Chain A
Amino acid sequence: MKKNDVILQTVTKIVFFIILTFGVELFLSGHNNPGGGFIGGLVLSSAFVLLYLVYDIETVHRGTPFDFKRVAALGVLLAVGTGMFSLVFGEPFLSQKTWLVDLPVFGETELGTMTIFEAGVALTVLGVVVTIILGISEDVE
């Protein structure tokens, strides 16, 4: 069946980035407002899922040349790694720390190891969700 979804594709090109921005925003604001790694990761993956729905798998692969299984693995490494990292400084496993840093554009900003940990969560969620959905859908072809 020949599909004609020009409108969907055009809209997606813009919406994809809006969703990505929203995901990152959710992820970053998670420290003080609703959001966080899990939701951020889910939103990011929903952006990719949309992309895969609208375009075919090969086209998207050309645009995103990374393996989502590796993204998930990187996420797990980050999450476990921050836990291990605190050991190096003589703190108990998984201790988190925050600093207040004065950044040029953003002003006074909180930087913390929890953000790295949450990034690990987000990447794992993103990697796993996209891997599963791709795995099932590739099989259809």
Chain B
Amino acid sequence: MITVLLAIFIPFIAAGLVPFIHKFLTGSRIGWFVITIPLFLFALLIRLVPSLSEGASYLYTLPWIPSADVYFSTHLDGLSMIFALLITGIGSLVVLYSIYYLSEREAIGRFYTYLLLFMGAMLGVVLSDNLIVLYVFWELTSISSFLLIAFWYHRKQSRYGAKKSMLITVTGGIFMLVGFLMLYTITGTFNLQELVAMREVIAADSLFIPAMLLVLVGAFTKSAQFPFHIWLPDAMEAPTPVSAYLHSATMVKAGIYLVARFTPVFAGDTTWFFVVSCVGLLTMLWGSVNAVKQTDLKALLAFSTVSQLGMIMSLLGIGSLAFASSESTHIALFTAATFAALFHMINHSTFKGSLFMVVGILDHELGTRNIQRLGGLATIMPITFTIALIGSFSMAGLPPFNGFLSKELFFEATLSLKEANLLSMDSLVLLFPIVAWVGSIFTFIYCMIIVFQTFFGKVHAPVPGQRPAHEAPIQMLISPMVLGSLVVLIFIFPNLLGTYILGPAMNAVYPQFVGMPGLVPEIKVWHGWGMPIYMTIGVVITGVLLYCFLRYWKGIYSFGFLQWTLDRSYNALLQRVERVASVVTKTYMTGSVRDYVAYIMLFFIALVGIGLLGFQQFIFDFSNDAVIEINESIIIFVMMCSSVAILFAKSRITAIILNGVLGYSIAILFVVFRAPDLALTQIIVETVTTVLFLLCFYYLPEWRNEHKSISMRVRNGLIAVASGVVVTVIALLVQGHSLYPSISVYYETASRLAGGLNVVNTILGDFRAFDTMLEVLVLFIAGLGVYSLVKLRRKKGVDHPEEK
């Protein structure tokens, strides 16, 4: 299905086009071009929803690097569909919002390029079926989000936040890659669908648990789970549309996606259940408790996102128990948890997206996000207030909003654990609903803070630099209004979502229960009197009481373990790494080229020389050697003379010319041995490097006879002699060994295979084109490096922007 492939590549192509189109569509008008892309993709995808709900899925495979088992395969099933719809749907709204949010003076072209890059990477993550391809896109989301967070790079905090998020998520991604490679050694495939089919083989392997934990580290870092959540609050330095997009709807959900995607592979083992659900619940509790103490609205929302992600994560953990159960009633109980997780994820995207946009509006119109400086805005900004009310009440889990439905399902799922008696740890299982309940109370409190402290109470007089309060322009309100109405609509028609969107996703998570009755439970708005509703009533009563007396007990945040933040350990760790690195670097970076050459030579001698000694295979066989002709010996003699003469050269120019003699002699030697390609290359390289040498000439200090200590001379002499010996021994040894059949046979058919008669070039351009391509890239990067080192050197007395 080529549509899926298009969905991944269109954003990338568009991202490449933005800088060019921006020349014609100046200012914010470029946004109208950008918005067509997510809208188009959304339409493209939504067209496929009916066929997916009938059980279809679209697999499309392109060979990418078949020799390494890497296929560019895309797979669109129910689970990918949810995420793809969120990415494109919320993406469209975010772009619409940003058209009015960003001022014309910002680097808008750059902003949209990054945003489209991110969108494409995110679609790549959820749509690719090959683990390596998934990993590539996974890290691409980290990089593009780094660029987005650091959009206002002149701010120190932005750079700090961007660096932090990238360090944590990329490191997690590398752990995940190792996990993927372990899975590959177990199964021999990178394809997700094949992995799911081979889950018994994987479960029986000794690498099962390490692979599982490594994959989970990747998912937890991306989804900001405890203790990796520390990057998310700092990422709030990004422009608000970015926060709404990356940190509520998409990037942080990549971890959720990964856990859901790997549930059929790893679930069934209780380790998976314990790790996922305990980390999830802990994150939920920690995030909600910390959210209450925030004074910046955006930071509050950041912690609330952490908490909500934890809740979704714990639901996925509980849902994995279905694989371990045998009774059908239990299976239905636990699959309902996964259903709740996916349902809440959609709900979370709607209400959190709208809340972020509301905070953006407040920031944009009033110039502050500080709760202590906001108040009484309900009558001044009625539409914004309504949206904020809907979003917060939904997040608090109150009817008639969609958050209520998913939160009831959450309570039910935690309660269902005690029914399971799969585990002999009843007391631990009892903790689950309690922790969930306490977390929900704090969630309720911070939701009330958002509504009441911002929109009620007395109006604060605008301080200097703050504009008087007024309602935002209607265009800016469209996106949050759409999301807000979705919050209500989902509450009214939850089962529509259940059948068409969540049902196919459940089939993807539980491939062996496809078609089981009750796999897609019917969501009831009123589910009768029972433990969940009592818990909700308890949450509301306790929450209201605690909120009213907030100022009396808020003091507890100032002492004890709540003061201890992981941020501090992160900063300390980073500082220590930097210090050690600078100490180490200072000891070996002496600035003397001579020392560097000595390092390289010593390393070479150690690696090759000791390796040779280890093998003890010194067989010298000269019987097959060709006779050395007289002209060859003359050339060699010239080479020897010139290289020895360099040592005694009195001026730099003599040394360069002697070096040139050496180089051209090698070229002649190539000609004698009938290697015209090498000879040509050697001659031209020699010419160009001689010119380069002459240019550098200008900078080099006077050539002077240094009087160096005897020990230094002996050391250098030893290194020189040793490397010479190693090279000579290798050259002579090569004659006596033939471990492998000659590879030249393979290239005898080269002209037929590659259509070229020049073997050297067909190897470079065809058989080993991957090497050549990467070499070209390296050359390019090295060239840019040299250029920027030479050109952009820090001028004396000029402030460097990094230090501002």
Known: A31-B758, A45-B688, A76-B777. A131 touches B63 (CB 8 A): no
Please determine whether B769 and A92 come into contact, CB atoms closer than 8 angstroms: no
Name the residue on B nearest A92 (C-beta): B63
Chain A residues with Cβ below 8 Å from B760 are 34, 36
The reply to whether the CB of A24 lies closer than 8 angstroms to some CB of chain B is no
Chain B residues 660 to 699 lying within 8 A of chain A, measured CB to CB, are: 676-677, 680-681, 684-685, 687-688, 691-692, 695-696, 698
Please determine whether A31 and B756 come into contact, CB atoms closer than 8 angstroms: yes
Contact of A49 among B691, B757, B777 (CB under 8 A): B691
The reply to whether the CB of B531 lies closer than 8 angstroms to some CB of chain A is no
Most buried by A among B676, B677, B761: B761
Contact of B676 among A34, A42, A94, A110 (CB under 8 A): A34
The reply to whether the CB of B598 lies closer than 8 angstroms to some CB of chain A is no
Contact of B63 among A26, A91, A110 (CB under 8 A): A91
Chain A residues with Cβ below 8 Å from B769 are 83, 94, 96, 114, 117
Please determine whether A131 and B681 come into contact, CB atoms closer than 8 angstroms: no
The docked-state distance in angstroms from the alpha carbon of A75 to that of B781 is: 12
Please determine whether A121 and B772 come into contact, CB atoms closer than 8 angstroms: yes
Please determine whether A46 and B777 come into contact, CB atoms closer than 8 angstroms: no
A25 to chain B, nearest CB (A): 12
> Can you spell out 18 A-B residue pairs with CB atoms less than 8 angstroms apart?
A31-B757, A34-B758, A36-B765, A37-B765, A42-B681, A42-B688, A46-B691, A49-B691, A69-B783, A76-B780, A87-B62, A92-B63, A94-B773, A98-B756, A120-B776, A131-B783, A133-B691, A136-B695
The docked-state distance in angstroms from the alpha carbon of A98 to that of B677 is: 22
What interface size band does chain A fall in?
A: 35 or more
The docked-state distance in angstroms from the alpha carbon of A93 to that of B774 is: 13
Name the residue on B nearest A29 (C-beta): B758
The docked-state distance in angstroms from the alpha carbon of A34 to that of B667 is: 14
| In the complex, the 8 A-B pairs of residues with the closest C-beta atoms, listed nearest first | A128-B783, A98-B755, A32-B757, A34-B676, A92-B63, A42-B684, A114-B765, A135-B790
Residue pairs across A and B with CB atoms within 8 Å: the count is: 153
Known: A79-B773, A92-B63. A128 touches B758 (CB 8 A): no
Please determine whether A135 and B787 come into contact, CB atoms closer than 8 angstroms: yes
Chain A residues with Cβ below 8 Å from B687 are 46
Contact of A39 among B681, B779, B780 (CB under 8 A): B681
Please determine whether A92 and B772 come into contact, CB atoms closer than 8 angstroms: no
Please determine whether A96 and B754 come into contact, CB atoms closer than 8 angstroms: yes
Chain B residues 752 to 793 lying within 8 A of chain A, measured CB to CB, are: 754-758, 760-762, 764-766, 769-770, 772-773, 776-777, 779-780, 782-784, 786-787, 790-791
The reply to whether the CB of B351 lies closer than 8 angstroms to some CB of chain A is no
Chain A residues 1 to 60 lying within 8 A of chain B, measured CB to CB, are: 26, 30-39, 42-43, 45-46, 49, 53
Among the 9-residue stretches B64-72, B190-198, B254-262, B646-654, the one with 4 or more Cβ atoms under 8 Å from chain A is B64-72
Chain A residues with Cβ below 8 Å from B681 are 38-39, 42
Chain B residues 688 to 714 lying within 8 A of chain A, measured CB to CB, are: 688, 691-692, 695-696, 698
Contact of B773 among A38, A83, A131, A133 (CB under 8 A): A83
Chain A residues with Cβ below 8 Å from B62 are 87, 90
Known: A79-B776, A128-B780. A36 touches B761 (CB 8 A): yes
Please determine whether B680 and A34 come into contact, CB atoms closer than 8 angstroms: yes
Please determine whether A121 and B684 come into contact, CB atoms closer than 8 angstroms: no
Chain B residues with Cβ below 8 Å from A133 are 691-692, 695
Known: A72-B780, A76-B777, A133-B691. A139 touches B790 (CB 8 A): yes
Contact of B696 among A33, A42, A91, A136 (CB under 8 A): A136
Name the residue on B nearest A34 (C-beta): B676
Contact of B677 among A34, A69, A75 (CB under 8 A): A34
Name the residue on A nearest B692 (C-beta): A133
Please determine whether A35 and B758 come into contact, CB atoms closer than 8 angstroms: yes
Name the residue on B nearest A130 (C-beta): B783
The docked-state distance in angstroms from the alpha carbon of A38 to that of B677 is: 10
Chain B residues 412 to 438 lying within 8 A of chain A, measured CB to CB, are: none
Chain A residues with Cβ below 8 Å from B791 are 135, 138-139
Chain A residues 98 to 141 lying within 8 A of chain B, measured CB to CB, are: 98, 110, 112, 114, 117-118, 120-121, 124-125, 127-129, 131-133, 135-140
The docked-state distance in angstroms from the alpha carbon of A42 to that of B765 is: 17
A8 to chain B, nearest CB (A): 15
Please determine whether B776 and A75 come into contact, CB atoms closer than 8 angstroms: yes
Chain A residues with Cβ below 8 Å from B783 are 69, 72, 127-129, 131-132
Chain B residues with Cβ below 8 Å from A75 are 776, 780
Chain A residues with Cβ below 8 Å from B676 are 34
The docked-state distance in angstroms from the alpha carbon of A132 to that of B755 is: 35
Contact of A26 among B680, B685, B754, B786 (CB under 8 A): B680
Contact of A118 among B698, B755, B757, B761 (CB under 8 A): B761
The docked-state distance in angstroms from the alpha carbon of A93 to that of B388 is: 50
A124 to chain B, nearest CB (A): 5
Name the residue on B nearest A52 (C-beta): B691
The docked-state distance in angstroms from the alpha carbon of A112 to that of B769 is: 14
Please determine whether B688 and A129 come into contact, CB atoms closer than 8 angstroms: yes
Name the residue on B nearest A137 (C-beta): B695
A60 to chain B, nearest CB (A): 15
Please determine whether B773 and A96 come into contact, CB atoms closer than 8 angstroms: no
B707 to chain A, nearest CB (A): 31
Name the residue on B nearest A124 (C-beta): B776
Chain B residues with Cβ below 8 Å from A30 are 758, 761
Known: A36-B758, A127-B783. A94 touches B770 (CB 8 A): yes
Chain A residues with Cβ below 8 Å from B790 are 135-136, 139
Please determine whether B787 and A131 come into contact, CB atoms closer than 8 angstroms: yes
The docked-state distance in angstroms from the alpha carbon of A83 to that of B766 is: 10
The docked-state distance in angstroms from the alpha carbon of A96 to that of B762 is: 10
Name the residue on B nearest A128 (C-beta): B783
Chain B residues with Cβ below 8 Å from A121 are 765, 772, 776
Chain B residues with Cβ below 8 Å from A136 are 692, 695-696, 790
B637 to chain A, nearest CB (A): 27
Chain B residues with Cβ below 8 Å from A87 are 62, 64, 72
Please determine whether B688 and A46 come into contact, CB atoms closer than 8 angstroms: yes
B665 to chain A, nearest CB (A): 19
Please determine whether B65 and A93 come into contact, CB atoms closer than 8 angstroms: yes
Given A79-B773, A87-B72, A129-B688; 8 other pairs, CB 8 A cutoff:
A30-B761, A31-B758, A31-B761, A33-B758, A46-B688, A83-B773, A129-B783, A138-B791
The docked-state distance in angstroms from the alpha carbon of A132 to that of B782 is: 10
The docked-state distance in angstroms from the alpha carbon of A37 to that of B765 is: 9
Please determine whether B65 and A132 come into contact, CB atoms closer than 8 angstroms: no
The docked-state distance in angstroms from the alpha carbon of A114 to that of B758 is: 12
Contact of A90 among B63, B680, B691, B786 (CB under 8 A): B63
Please determine whether A32 and B756 come into contact, CB atoms closer than 8 angstroms: yes
Chain A residues with Cβ below 8 Å from B766 are 96, 114
The docked-state distance in angstroms from the alpha carbon of A49 to that of B761 is: 25
Please determine whether A69 and B770 come into contact, CB atoms closer than 8 angstroms: no
Please determine whether B787 and A132 come into contact, CB atoms closer than 8 angstroms: yes
The docked-state distance in angstroms from the alpha carbon of A82 to that of B784 is: 22
Most buried by A among B66, B776, B782, B784: B776
Contact of A46 among B677, B684, B756 (CB under 8 A): B684
Give B66-107 as 1s and 0s: 1 = Cβ < 8 Å from A's Cβ atoms. Answer: 100000100000000000000000000000000000000000
The docked-state distance in angstroms from the alpha carbon of A120 to that of B776 is: 8
Name the residue on B nearest A134 (C-beta): B787
Give B731-768 as 1s and 0s: 1 = Cβ < 8 Å from A's Cβ atoms. Answer: 00000000000000000000000111110111011100
